[in-house]
Chain A
Amino acid sequence: MAKSCLKHLAKTSLICASLLFATGQIAGASAAEAGSLKTSSTKPNAKINSTITIGFTLEPVSLDISGVAGQAIPQVLLNNIYEGLLKVENSGKIVPSLAESYSASANGLVYTFKIAKAKFHDGANLTSADVVWSFNRVLDPKSTAVLPTQKQQFSTIASTTAPNASTVIITLKNRDNDFLFNLTQRGGVIFKSGTTDFATKANGTGPFKLGNWNRGNSITLERNEEYRGTKALSKTVIFRYILDATALSNAILSGQIDIMSTVQKPELLSVFKGRKDLKISSGTTNGEVTLGMNNSKAPLNNTKVRQAIRQAINKKALIKTAWAGYGLEIGSFVPPTDAWYEDLSKIHPYDVQAAKNLLKQAGYPNGFAITLDIPPAPYAEASQEFIVASLKKIGINVTIKPVAWGEWLDRIFTKSNYDMTIVAHVERSDMSIYADPNYYFRYNSAEYQALIKKAGSARTPAAQAESLKKAARLLSSESVSDWLWLIPNLQVVKKSVTGFPQNSVGDAYSVAAIAKD
């Protein structure tokens, strides 16, 4: 879990910061409506034979959902072509998918799944043997056909067995609160037992069958008319890949696509505002833009100083200046799609006078000088001046220092040799990074660590959420960092289109509910 930042940074330095952001990986992007957590409602009179075209930037390099890295693969395949035992709804709720129902033993180690009556696209019936085969494939220690991340996610599995054709029992080595969510993602996809070609074929169970893949241009999904549940609302869905942000935006302006699934920079939205036929959808992601402070270094080791910094920054105004008004003030490190989310933006709210008093109490009536390291990320660059100006008002002189990702990773992330920095943390359910005293925040709180541990071994999701709620409140009240905003999932959509996923809660972009009037 402590890998959230490392992961995206390493990826970034491996490829190229700007390109990666453009592809939305840093933002974890794909999309949805701040506050509203539902998939937009589908009108009953929507035509059911229409073709929907959705514009994306990055095309999959392969169809191998478990063996090749990159978000574009699960984006098109997960929940559309392939399914897992469970799936995550756009609200963040985990619901049954290929498992009709499931139950967990009291100690949380044995999960029993009742398998739905489903058919693969080639006509074969899904049985528990396929499920066992799929998990054994992921866990085979000798196999390199499955991405290490997926193997890691399921490393808590001790055994997968099938007492009969419609029941699967998965036994865990130890409690794992991420297990159910992991089942909803790419590593939990169920393949037909014995499948060998994953790269160019996709024999799934989902509401769509794979149509034509015109490399460099588009992937077409055709409705699976034999689907076991509610059939997809549109007959054909085309994932169109347009690398250039301007070309993508022109495609929706000229009516060639129905949904522009990602808006790289909010300032690009101005061209859409005057259009009566288009709407802008702003949903949530897991990306918290975090003003990281070094909790082990004076003067930031003083809670009052950190609180003063938080109270000196007007987040609402900052979001308006830096991110065109899109993005949610969260007040802690939890996105609204997590079950333990609470609106904590009222804790230590914007109040310059209170901030000045806090600095006085902390022994810095005349303020002090401090450095803010800015990595080459649009959100960081867009907020730096605002933060300098805000802190100047309470007497803190901030020097901005631009750093390349390589240096950021080495000096700040690894060696914690810094005062303040801005980075978006995009991993899901990543509160445990604050429990690691060596993580670059250098926050060492026994109370917090105990709460995270308690959440990790909680027997029910409710108990887990209870502990994490307390943990989030603690982070906020101690002002360990400041959380500037939650990166919005911005999309531009034709007004006639309904049912698209507004929030980015996992790697899938589920299209079965999309319809066009």
Chain B
Amino acid sequence: MRKTDSLQNLIWYLARRFTLFVGSLVAASALVFLLLRMLPGDLAQAKLGIEASPEALAQTRTEFGLNDSLILQFVKWLGNALSGDLGVSMLTGANIAQEIVNKATVTLPLIGLASVLALVFAIPLGMYSALNFRRRKGIGIAAISQLGIAIPTFWVGVILVTIFSVKFQILPSGGFPDAGWSSWSGCLESLVLPAITLALGQIAMLMRFARSATIEVLQQDYFRTARSTGLTRGQALRVHGVRNSLVPVVSVLGMQIATLIVGAIIVEHVFALPGIGQMLLQDVSIRDYTKVQGTVAATTAAVFFVSFLIDALLGFLNPKSRASL
């Protein structure tokens, strides 16, 4: 009986979460759609240039369905988008979904690499800092992490390039191999500095979570019990503490996906990486409405989807969280 209740609870929880996911996605798409339409300038004009005749403009508008009502345009677009078809760019004729997938081969590895770096450095540093809680070393690390949060991403990128590319010329200052991942070592080389740049802010922040989570573990009864069996603090922490302090860190990292994507836009710009962020900036500058719309909607969907997954995961792991919507 209680088991069925619990399962039902979980299903209800997931259904509510999913509805919320779809609802916010539609709302966000509508917002993106409207905001882009509200900007001054006209797509037909952007395509044909400033001296286009009124007839040519009218013809282009009809071709692209720009004369339909906003709502009709939105519904048409949303319908296609939900089936994975983001249409073609009005300016370049390129398939938008395909372009996004292409560019994702740069952006996803960048975000992935940055996340791995962030975890690999943040957790040991955070734990070390917690073990030295209220000691000079611990406070020093905490202070550095504060600094890490405060420094803007692009500035870190510029400094790294100045040192490693311009001064010592050991890593490329930007760009990505034309051959893509078939020359994987070149790709990795191109991603080292950008990933470090993107990871630094994350390391600083995750470290603080790891630190406070560890401090909490250190104060738990089970930890004291573990110590009483003769384990040192370090041993006890490795055996009983790591997993417990990891949970909040990983869930925070999951929620950081949006920050990472925004960070990736800046990092790709600074390092001239042909990823989704760079593409988005370029499309904004040439006023490729349909593509900007598709890209923003796709990345928004990705962010919502990841947070939905994490919610679902937390729902499985922690029954308490199911109560709150």
Contacts and interface: CB of A to CB of B under 8 A. Distances in A.
Contacts of B85: none
A255 B170 CA distance: 11
B161 A214 contact: no
Interface in A14-59: 14-16, 19, 23, 58-59
Interface string A233-252: 00000101011101110110
A208 B269 CA distance: 30
Contact of B48 (A147, A214, A217): A147
Given A7-B51, A10-B50, A244-B270, A255 B169 contact: yes
Contact of B286 (A61, A147, A148, A200): A61
Interface string A161-178: 000000000000000000
B300 interface: no
B172 interface: yes
Give the most central of B40, B50, B161: most A CB within 10 Å: B50
B178 A251 contact: no
B102 A253 contact: no
Nearest to B161: A250
A113 B323 CA distance: 83
Contact of A251 (B174, B176, B274, B288): B174
B91 interface: yes
A443 to B, nearest CB: 24
B173 A14 contact: no
A70 B286 contact: yes
Given A10-B50, A148-B52, A199 B92 contact: yes
Contacts of A149: 49, 51
B151 interface: no
A212 B182 CA distance: 15
A220 B65 CA distance: 35
Give the most central of A61, A212, A214, A240: most B CB within 10 Å: A61
Given A69-B47, A250-B166, A256 B175 contact: yes
B41 interface: yes
A148 B53 contact: yes
Contacts of B258: none
A253 B50 contact: no
A215 B274 contact: yes
B281 interface: yes
A14 B50 contact: yes
B226 interface: no
The size class of the interface chain B forms with chain A is 35 or more
Interface string B279-301: 10110011110000000000000
Contact of B99 (A13, A152, A215): A215
B200 to A, nearest CB: 18
Contact of A242 (B45, B59, B165, B272): B272
A218 B281 CA distance: 16
A61 B288 contact: yes
Contacts of B287: 14-15
A199 B93 CA distance: 8
A3 B161 CA distance: 43
B53 to A, nearest CB: 6
B50 A7 contact: yes
B115 interface: no
Contacts of B91: 61-62, 68
B158 interface: yes
B160 to A, nearest CB: 10
B286 A253 contact: no
B103 interface: yes
A325 interface: no
Interface in A143-189: 144, 147-149, 152
B187 interface: no
A495 interface: no
B13 interface: no
A3 B50 CA distance: 10
Nearest to A20: B285
Nearest to B283: A61
Interface in A192-235: 199-200, 212, 214-218, 220
B174 A212 contact: no
Contacts of A320: none
Interface string A248-276: 10110111100000000000000000000
B46 interface: yes
A309 B199 CA distance: 56
B178 to A, nearest CB: 5
B37 to A, nearest CB: 15
A144 B60 contact: yes
A11 interface: yes
A215 B269 contact: no
A216 B158 contact: no
Contacts of A214: 178, 180, 274
Contacts of B286: 15, 61, 70
Given A215-B94, A215-B99, A14 B45 contact: yes
Contacts of A255: 169
B153 interface: no
Contact of B50 (A11, A218, A240): A11
B278 interface: yes
Given A214-B178, A216-B278, A251-B175, A15 B165 contact: no
B270 A247 contact: yes
A243 B278 contact: yes
Contact of A244 (B60, B165, B176, B269): B269
A147 B279 contact: no
Contact of A217 (B94, B165, B269, B274): B274
Interface string B160-194: 01100110010011111010100000000000000
Contacts of A58: 285
B175 A246 contact: no
A247 B46 contact: no
B281 A254 contact: no
B272 A251 contact: yes
A247 B269 contact: yes
Give the most central of B161, B162, B178: most A CB within 10 Å: B178
A240 B162 CA distance: 20
B174 to A, nearest CB: 5
Contacts of A240: 175
B209 interface: no
Contacts of A215: 94, 99, 102, 274, 279
A242 B175 contact: yes
B271 interface: yes
Give the most central of A59, A212, A215, A255: most B CB within 10 Å: A215
Contacts of B48: 69, 144, 147-148
Interface of B: 40-41, 45-53, 56, 59-60, 91-94, 99, 102-103, 158, 161-162, 165-166, 169, 172-176, 178, 180, 269-272, 274-275, 278-279, 281-282, 285-288
14 contacts: A14-B41, A14-B45, A61-B92, A61-B286, A69-B46, A148-B51, A148-B53, A215-B99, A238-B178, A243-B278, A244-B272, A247-B270, A253-B173, A254-B166
Interface of A: 3, 6-7, 10-11, 13-16, 19, 23, 58-59, 61-62, 68-70, 144, 147-149, 152, 199-200, 212, 214-218, 220, 238, 240, 242-244, 246-248, 250-251, 253-256
Given A23-B285, A147-B49, 16 more contacts: A14-B45, A15-B285, A15-B286, A16-B285, A69-B50, A215-B99, A216-B278, A216-B282, A217-B178, A243-B269, A244-B269, A244-B272, A250-B165, A251-B272, A254-B173, A256-B173
The 10 closest A-B pairs by CB, nearest first: A69-B49, A216-B274, A254-B165, A250-B173, A254-B173, A217-B274, A242-B272, A247-B272, A253-B166, A144-B56
